[in-house]
Structure 1
Amino acid sequence: MWATLTVTCLLINALLGQSTPTSFCVSGLCLPMDYNKLEMPPGRNDIKIELTILDVLSVNDKDFSISVYAYLGIRWPEPRLIGKNGQKLSTYSDERLGVPITVDPAFLSSVWVPNIMIVNVKSFKPLSEMKPQQALWAVSESNGQFGFYYVQGCIISFYCPMRFDFFPLDAHICPLQLSTNYNNEHVFFSETILNDASKSRNVVLEYSLQIKKIPDGQRMLATKTLGNYSTTGVEFYLERHKLKYLSIYFLPSGLFVVVSWVSFLIPPDQVAGRMSMLITLFLVLVNIFGNITSTMPNTEGVTAISGWMIVCIFFVFGALCCYAFLLWKMKPTFYLKKHERTPEDIKSKHWQRVKFDDWCFMIFPIVFVLFNIAYWAICLNTPPSEEIAIRQPFKTVLTEA
């Protein structure tokens, strides 16, 4: 009899649209009896990502990674939520719909949560002190239904496919992309809400940094067999600070090359002074080159600064070769006895040596200036946008959602 009465009451309530049986309630939000957290809400779910970047902790050139301190916010709809009495939440008052409802984050274990994946992630460390730094709210959507907004404090480390061919004049575009295992027929990401507070950061980096939203043309991942997947996120525009390298490496090495030209003004018979100066400059440049190669990032070929140092070393080596040629030309004169040397021979040999040094003193600076014009024109006028295809972890295409 009691069972019949219970079933009758439930049928009456269902027909009148007054209530639906509930299984679990928190903060006035309830789940229906037939709720299954393994099933996503019907239709296409629009997910919003809000990324608040508080600081960029490190840019590691050795393992090609970036670490950021951020708060990651995820907002998704959940139209299956009901009130305590079983009524739809859309029938609540306007004040109820407009104010976020604070919910204990433990409620997430009972509801469907979108599986958010970070592309090229190295590590994801949730922040926690006495308790994890996380929060959950129930918020109203534009269609009058409710959804969830979850925020998690975290340290995200992700890989960036950097290329150091132009080191230390390099620039990089590093995407931090988020996606999901549902294709865009079921889940679609809206444009990321970016809150960049990293300008007041406490960490000193080797790069100047700009953070921008990923362009629309790169917010869809296309696959041949599984369909298209919506993505979202931000891009880190990194440009290395050049002044330190210009003052420590480029300027001194260039001045050493200029100083080596003074050797063309020293008389060739001053072997000790001219040779010691050139050898000293040569060894100093080799030592600087060794320090650079031991500290610069891994690369597949010659970097910009390596090429610069090699050219500087060859310029000093060229001055050494010119002096060696003069010594070779002077050798027959040295072996002649004093009474065998005629004034005409001495004058002719001396004039040839002076003329050769004068030619070297003109040619070396001209070639070095031409090299500088070509070098800096190539290194400073190569924007990172030309290498986006190399740096992107996968090929993306824009597809109509």
Structure 2
Amino acid sequence: MFCRSFCFFSLCLFLPIQRRCSLGHVSNLQSSDTRSLPGFENLTMGYNKYLRPYFGGEPVQIAMTLDIASISSISESDMDYTATIYLQQRWTDPRLVFHGNKSFSLDARLVELLWVPDTYIVESKRSFLHDVTVENRLIRLFSNGTILYALRITTTVACNMDLSKYPMDTQTCRLQLESWGYDENDVVFTWLRGNDSVHGLEKLQLSQYTVEHYYTLVSKSQMETGSYPRLILQFELRRNVLYFILETYVPSTLLVMLSWVSFWITLDSVPARTCIGVTTVLSMTTLMIGSRSSLSKTNCFIKAIDVYLGICFSFIFGALVEYAMAHYSSSQKCAAKAPQEGPANELTKEMKEVNITSVLNSSITSYKQKISFTSIQISSDNVNRSDLTMKTHEKIKCVLRNKMHRIIGYFTIQNPSNVDHYSKLLFPLFFMLVNVFYWAYYLYF
């Protein structure tokens, strides 16, 4: 039955030649015809598509080439990419040798009658063979028995991504081809022309990425059932950061600069400064939520863009806290000055006019009297050691208390208006310094 069906196909393909098939036997061709047409005697007599070429002997050498037609999408959330490829496979089957030096493109349906490799795409999530208007397959037979088998495939392949430097990252993805059932004793995979076996990647125009470079590898996959040949195409994709600069980095930087406007507004303008601080904080929060929503499934990564937005949010929030501290200190200072402004408070005015020298002299005299009094008590016979220890503890507490007051005085805002004056200089300076370290780290390390 097999021979009859193939004879029918042979008759349809080579209509000008009169051939007669009977019970699996092909009539003898004249010597003049064998030079121009392939003889299918070997194919119709004793050919078994279930057995590989050189069955029981040396492995079949299968050379491959790839044409990358397009990479339609690269998903960071799903960590995969979708590509349309043209896969060409070449091998030699000595059972299909015919006389002459020509090659013939056969009907793709004849693939069902021939042995073909069981190549599959490793780490493929979804794949399909195009079938419009017919199945996009090509089979070409050469006189020396070489077969060219080409397919047009669209596949979605997993690609493990490191998004810690997003959006200034470079991702390395792979396309791996491997034999499913034949191990290295039966099949050997090779690239036909090394790196030149892959075409199309250098011409791709991607929305967010640029193909830096690519290279091919030959490897093996060791499994429990054996060692299988594997071909690897590895390519690097560098993300175009210009979109993110215009979409995220510039707006966040402008929001930080907007928060500095409050430093030029007086402390008494509470509604104006509060409005600027709260508005910039809420705007920055919205920007942070929007940047993370596009990568909802990759929130486990602390990305470079998250670090920058966090820095901007910290500066904006710091400007709001700076005004709160300055306004609180100003209100406290005004409250302390209020009792001193009354005309009836003459005691306070007199205290201001006291000579500092007399105060120091009186304090020194009193201190010497205390020392002499303490020495008299110690020299007496009925001295109370517990009282002496308590007085010593009180002195230590007094000294510590004075030091604490002095330390707190260092951090006390004496003039609240100076806070805005220093903030006008310190906030932009620190922000520029942080930006230098940020961009240097993520671009060069």
Task: Classify the TM-score, shorter chain.
Answer: 0.7 to 0.9
2:390 matched residue in structure 1: none
- Matched residues in 2 for 1:355 and 1:197: separation? 60
Taking the TM superposition and a 5 Å limit, the aligned residue runs for 1:1-400 are 28-29=39-40, 30-31=42-43, 33-42=45-54, 43-82=58-97, 89=98, 92=99, 96-97=100-101, 99-139=102-142, 145-181=144-180, 182-191=182-191, 193-196=197-200, 199=203, 205-210=207-212, 212-214=214-216, 216=217, 219-223=218-222, 225-296=224-295, 298-299=297-298, 300-336=300-336, 338=338, 340-341=340-341, 352-382=415-445
Contact 2:78 2:297 in 1 (8 A): no
- Deviation by residue 1:199-228 (Cα, 9 ceiling, x = unmatched): 366xx62222356332x3xx2134264554
Contact 1:32 1:80 in 2 (8 A): no
SS of the equivalent of 2:155 reads strand
Count matched residues: 336
- Matched residues in 1 for 2:201 and 2:306: separation? 36
Q: Which runs of 5+ in 2 are unaligned?
A: 1-22, 27-36, 343-348, 353-411
Letter aligned with residue 68 of structure 2: I
SS of the equivalent of 1:55 reads strand
Letter aligned with residue 234 of structure 2: E
Contact 1:24 1:31 in 2 (8 A): no
- Deviation by residue 1:342-394 (Cα, 9 ceiling, x = unmatched): 9x99xxx9972233333333332232222212211222225xxxxxxxxxxxx
- Deviation by residue 1:71-111 (Cα, 9 ceiling, x = unmatched): 221111212225xxxxxx3xx3xxx23x3222222222222
Letter aligned with residue 215 of structure 2: K
Contact 1:48 1:190 in 2 (8 A): yes
- Deviation by residue 1:301-346 (Cα, 9 ceiling, x = unmatched): 322111211111111111111111112212323435756249x99x
- Matched residues in 1 for 2:287 and 2:126: separation? 36
2:407 matched residue in structure 1: none
What's the TM-score, normalizing by structure 1? 0.75
SS of the equivalent of 1:156 reads strand
Cα RMSD for the two superposed structures: 2.9
Displaced runs of 4+ in structure 1, greater than 6 A?
Answer: none
- Matched residues in 1 for 2:103 and 2:25: separation? 20
Q: 1:333 to 1:352 in 2, by over 3 A?
A: closer
- Superposed displacement of residue 171, structure 1: 1.9
Instruction: Kindly name which structure, 1 or 2, has the bigger radius of gyration based on alpha carbons.
Output: 2
- Superposed displacement of residue 270, structure 1: 2.2
- Matched residues in 1 for 2:429 and 2:240: separation? 29
- Matched residues in 1 for 2:76 and 2:159: separation? 10
- Superposed displacement of residue 130, structure 1: 3.0
- Deviation by residue 1:162-186 (Cα, 9 ceiling, x = unmatched): 2322222222111111011323333
More helix by share: 2
